[in-house]
Every structure is written in structure tokens, then in C-alpha cells.
Amino acid sequence: MFVKGTFKKASILFTLALLPFLFGYFIISFLLFSFIAFLMQFFRDPNRNSPMDKGIVVAAADGRILKGKIDRIEPVDYDYPLMEYVLEKNEKGILISTFMSPFDVHVNRAPVSGQVVKTKYCPGKFKVAFGNVKTENEKNLIVIESEYGKIGVIQIAGFVARRIVQYVQVGDEVNIGSRLGMIRFGSRVDLIVPYEKFKVMVEVGDKPKAGETVMASLK
């Protein structure tokens, strides 16, 4: 499966790539066809089989290819950027951050079932998605009110990523593993769960699969 509209874009580019081929500009045509192949793999949107166990939180993003992986797990509090929308003033959370390479699937999925109660887009820079991107880079927050409390998903743009797309709106009901949106090209996704309620089930260096990998479970 592919993201809606992918085949239309690819067909237009395919037609353009044929023109230099017909006039003997084979190298240009080869480069264009290579770009089309990259575009097609980037806009993949495979079906996922999400676990239905009670008390679990699944991955919101893929981090499986090349340098894609979970690269940060840390406690956060109310003063951490955007946490005032996810945590209460006296509450702590656990942030699990997944870096996505340009070759990972970039469709993000709901980590839990529940209702979308808050979204917030924050314009910013497009630096490489390492370092101090939590305050500088463009990002988008989605908060889901679940039976276990509020769960946050932050889509963060990177150096190559130039557009964050959100599929859901406040008031929407989502099921675990359903599609929330996507980030176009390399980027990262932060997942925030309540510190007191959940135990982290992954480690730094693990390669999660969106909608399937169990990231945390109720204590």
C-alpha cells in the first residue's frame, strides 16, 4: 500500500522521465527514474497488525532501516517543551524518541486507543533531527486521552523533512495502530507516557515497528 496520491505523483514524474530517454539523455532519465523509485519507497503505507492486549502502548513511528532506531529514553516533567499539554503540573512522563531514516516508513500511528483531545503545530527550523531539535525544529503535537491517561505523540521535522501532515483532528476517536499522519522524509517522533503508570518495554538501540512494537505496558 502507498499513501493516497502517490501513484498520481509517480505517473507524472514517470512521463517526465521518459522525455530525456526518448532524446537520448539516458543519464538524466536514469536519475529521474531513481528518484521515482525513492519516492515510491518513501510513501509506502503498509498494513500493520496491532496487538489488542490491555494496558499497552505501541510504537508511533518506524525506526528500522540504517540509522533508524530508538535513540533516547528519558524522564520528562511539566516544564519540558509541550509537556504542559500532556502532563499535569505534578506529573512526570517518560519520553521515548525514535529517529527515522529517509528509508523508513514515515506514516505515524496511534500508540493507544482513545480520543484526540489536543493538537498543536509549532513552526521552526529544519535542522538534522539530532541534538537540540526539541526546541528549535518544526514539530506537531497530538495528545490522545486513553483509559490510562494522556499519551502524547510529537512529530518532529528534520533536515530533509519539509512537511508534517496530520490526519486527525481534535474530537476524533482513534484505535491503537490507526494512522495519525506522516512526516515527509528523515525526521523523528517522540512518544510520551505517564511515568507512574507505565514500564518501558524497549531499550535505546531497538528498532520499533509503528503500530506493532510494544513500547510500554502498565505496571
- Catalytic positions: 187
As a dihedral over the C-alpha atoms of residue 98, residue 150, residue 181, residue 163, rounded to 10 degrees, the angle is -70
Query: Amino acid letter at 137?
Result: N
Q: How far is residue 176's CA from residue 45's CA, in Å, rounded to a whole number?
A: 16
What is the spatial distance between Cα 215 and Cα 11, in angstroms, rounded to a whole number? 38
Q: How far apart are CA 206 and CA 181, in angstroms?
A: 22
Q: How far is CA 194 from CA 111, 134, 219, in A?
A: 13, 19, 11
Q: Which residues of 83-117 are buried (b: 16+ CB within 10 A; e: fewer)?
A: bebbbeeebebbbbbbbbbbbbbbbbbbbbbbebe
